[in-house]
Each structure stands twice: as C-alpha cells, then as structure tokens.
Chains A and B, each alone.
Chain A
C-alpha cells in the first residue's frame, strides 16, 4: 500500500517505489498530461512532475504554499494547463482564473476547463488586467509564470487590482526572458528590487530561491503586499 504524507493543504507526497509529489485528482480516472494515477484507500492521487511545473518545484524547495481548499487563485501564464490542473486539484472548493494569451495554448486549456468547473479560462494579456477586470473577483493568491521581461510590473498591476490585502504572490522568474546574456544572479537581484520598490503596490519578499535542479535559471518567489 502506497504511503501518503500531507505536505500542505491539498499537496501530498505519495511513496510508491519512490517519493512522488501528488495532488488529489478532482476528475478521478482522468489524466491531463500523461502523469500517473495512484489510488490509495479510495482516493486517487495524480503525480506532479516538478520538472514540468515551477509551482511543483517550489513545493519541493520548501516554499510555504499559501493555497487552501477554498482559495481564489489568479493564475497568469496558464499555458495548456499542466500546473493549472494541479492548482485546480488543490483548491477543490475554490476558483482558478486562468489567464493565457496564446490562442494555441488556450485551445488545450479550454479542453481542461470544460471538464473542471473551478477553472475559468481567460484569453488575455496579463499585462493588461483592465481587460479582464469585469470578470475577476478579489483574489487570495496570484500565481505568475509568464516568462516575460516585464514580469515584476505585470505582477504589480494585477496585485493592485485583484489581490486581497492579506493575499500572496507566487512568482516564477526566468532569467533568460529578461536578459539572455546577463548573469542570472544579477537579473534575480534586480527583479527582487523591482518587486520591493519599483511599482505600486510594493511587495515584501517572504522567500526567494533558485528552482534548481528542477528548472535552470529560474527563481521562485513568495511575496505579500507591504
């Protein structure tokens, strides 16, 4: 019998042959991107590959993941929904507003959202939160993985509009999307500075760690409003 250990709300470690990160499958019997399904005592777990998910890597890097069963999440850069599907598992009684601007990725995301009622897909530019402000309610957690040069600014613009005062920002920063030549460490320092003081609102950084060995040249950041 596989062993299950809870890491934080909705996030588990399942030991079957080896340790694996997993979430409870909201759609039993179905997989999203070829991950494994592991039933344990009547509950089906979906394995979560940290190499394919910045959020998954952040869990393993011991970030405090502020997601709760009923959290309202704004997910920026949803792509085809690999990580979104796990967030949807975690916030089983909550809502995921999934913003993505590439129509091709949105096609896959629509497929996922039509099976999962707590995912609300939005085809829009995350840099223009005004364009979806008529849809999104106050938010507990913003998760952002857009790989754009102006990601700190994008985070600030969305936080000012939607983030509750006691909400959190989870951010993945890709060094190469900001400056392909510069030393990633320098880029990260500069992005942290921007989050702390370049825009309104300002963030207080709670944790910032490299996502190695799961993702090269990526920094994970957990922050809240100052």
Chain B
C-alpha cells in the first residue's frame, strides 16, 4: 500500500511493515511545498489511525521525537505562511481597499461636519462645505484674510460671524489640513481601486463601473465567489447586510441589493426597474465569470446590455394600469 506523508512516500506490506520509502530532504521550504501539494490529493492517504511519527522513525526520516516535532513544526509554520501570503490575492487587496475607503468616507464626513460646525461660528455665510470649506480655511484662516480679488470677499467683509482669534485660527487651520489630506487619500484609494479593477476584473468594471464592481467583489468575499453566484443572488447582494441590520435594530427593511445604484437601474422608470435590474444582474454575473475564468475583456457586453435595456423600455412604454390593487403604488412621481 502506498502512503503519502509530509516527509515522503512510503510503501507498506500486508502487515503494515514498511517496504520502501522515498524520503524528501530535510529542507523546510521543500517539505512545506510538498505538504501543500498533498492537500487536495484523494489517493494514497494514510489509512485511519496511521501512526505517522512511528513511520518516520521506521524509515529513518527522523531519529528522535524531538527531531520529528521540530521538523513538523517548522514545516507546518512555513506552509501556513505560504498559504496566508497567497491568500492576499489581488481581489483580496481590492476588498481591503474598499473597506478602507468606507472607513475614510465615514471619518471624512464626520470631520467635515465638525469643521463646518466649528467654522460656522466665524463665517456662517460662506456657503462652503466639505473639501471646499477645508481648502478655504487652509488658505485664509480668518475671513479677514480674504482679499478683494476672491469671490467671497464681500460676504466675508459683511459677515456676522465672530472674530477668529489667532490661537483658534491655528487650531482650525491644522484641523482643516487633516480634512484636506483625508480627501486626498480618498482620491488615491479610488484611483487604486479603479486601476486594480481594470487588471483583475475588466468586464465587471465595464458593466458595473469600478466602484460598484469592487463593492460586489467585497460583499461576495472574492471574485471567485461572485462568479459562482447565480444572477438572482447578484441582484440582492448588499441587501442581506441591511437585512441583518433591519432584524437587529429595526432599520428600514432593505428592498434592493447594491446593484440598484447602477445608473441604468436607478434612472429607469419604476415600472421597468425590476426587469432592468434582472438584466443588469445577469450581465454582471456573466462579466464576473469571464473575469474569473478567462480574463479577456469583452467589449460587446455593454452593447448587449444596452440592447436589452432598449428592448425592455420599448416593450413597456407606459406604467401598467392596475397598479392600485397590488398596493405598491408609487408615492412620488419619478423622473422621466
């Protein structure tokens, strides 16, 4: 009987005695790679209850338990390290970037609000917010420094805001600089995601756009998993998170997955939105599969999606009549 072990292959006879052994050298890296290569093997597994350590002594691989365990320890450690470093595949890096982006957005919004609240006491009429306000504060500090050439000059002069003392001004400027650098960091991460998406999921990027595509990968867990999902699942990805939130904290119940932020879907009139969402989901799912299995960019995907979209639009030009009975009457009139 042939048996594969982490230290080599052995042949045993009827009574379990070792007849032959092909041992590997005691090179940790080589042993680790060999061990990893055995993970998926279906044949020549050690039989139930097989004593690997005893076999290692019998065939002369190790001379003492201490040596056996020392080598085993180094090999498992090395193999685990190889696996973990391999686990940071390009799609995992995109996922990290998407999560970092979410964190940065959250922080940026909170700090921006704080800044505008704070500076509002000194120049409430500025009408600026977000990055514009932060840049303004970095540049001028107190509104008294706004020169006649600047567009906000007259507002600044006539402002009812309080006077900004120099200690407060220094503080606010520093704070505003941090906010600016967060906006900068955000652009950097977005650019990173955009580039990486082009490399690892060009078709998904084509159909979904880089950010939606990256979010789909992130929510699915990997490009491989996204490619395995049926398109009906793709359609609700992102809703389940909201669903758990809804169950736990009575947040509003989710209706749609994140693909509803896709421009074709969110600009479609309400009565075809479901149909359009299905069409988009099916193309997204196809795109993810092509990206995962072949990686060739297929420009015809967008054309096909647009053709499908037109067909849905032309065959449903008007809202259906008996909407009332279904109880799903739209509250507001939608655009278009």
Residues of A within 8 A of B (CB): 95, 103, 106-107, 109-110, 113-114, 117-124, 130-138, 160-162, 164
Interchain residue pairs with CB less than 8 A apart (26): A95-B69, A103-B83, A103-B84, A106-B80, A106-B83, A109-B80, A110-B77, A113-B80, A114-B77, A117-B69, A120-B76, A121-B76, A121-B77, A123-B80, A123-B83, A123-B84, A130-B42, A131-B40, A133-B46, A133-B50, A134-B4, A134-B35, A134-B46, A135-B35, A136-B52, A160-B48
Q: Determine if B84 and A120 form an interchain contact, defined as CB atoms under 8 angstroms apart.
A: no
Listed in ascending order, the chain B residues whose CB lies under 8 Å from chain A are 4-6, 35, 38-40, 42, 45-46, 48-53, 69-70, 72-73, 76-77, 79-81, 83-84, 87-88
Contacts of B77 in A (CB 8 A): 110, 113-114, 120-121
- Give CA–CA (A103, B40) in the complex, Å: 18
Q: Which residues of B contact A161 (CB under 8 A)?
A: 48-49
Number of A-B contacts defined by CB within 8 Å: 72
Q: Which residues of B contact A118 (CB under 8 A)?
A: 69, 73
The answer on a CB contact under 8 Å between B51 and A138 is yes
Query: Complex: how many Å from CA A109 to CA B46?
Result: 26
**With A113-B73, A120-B72 in contact, do A133 and B45 touch (Cβ < 8 Å)?**
yes
Query: Whole-angstrom distance between the alpha carbons of A109 and B84 in the complex?
Result: 11
CB-CB < 8 A to B40: which residues of A?
A: 131
A60 to chain B, nearest CB (A): 30
Evaluate contact between B84 and A110: CB separation under 8 angstroms. Answer: yes
* Interfacial chain B residues near A130, Cβ < 8 Å: 42, 45
Given contacts A121-B77, A131-B39, contact A103 B87 (CB under 8 A): yes
* Cα-based distance from A160 to B72 in the complex (angstroms): 22
A131 to B39, CA, bound (A): 4
* Closest CB in chain B relative to A173 CB, distance in Å: 23
Q: Which residues of A contact B81 (CB under 8 A)?
A: 110
Chain B residues near A106 (CB, 8 Å)? 80, 83-84
In the complex, the answer to whether A135 meets B83 with C-beta atoms within 8 Å is: no
When distances are taken between beta carbons in the complex, the residues of chain B under 8 Å from A124 are 39
Contacting pair B51 A137 (CB below 8 A): yes
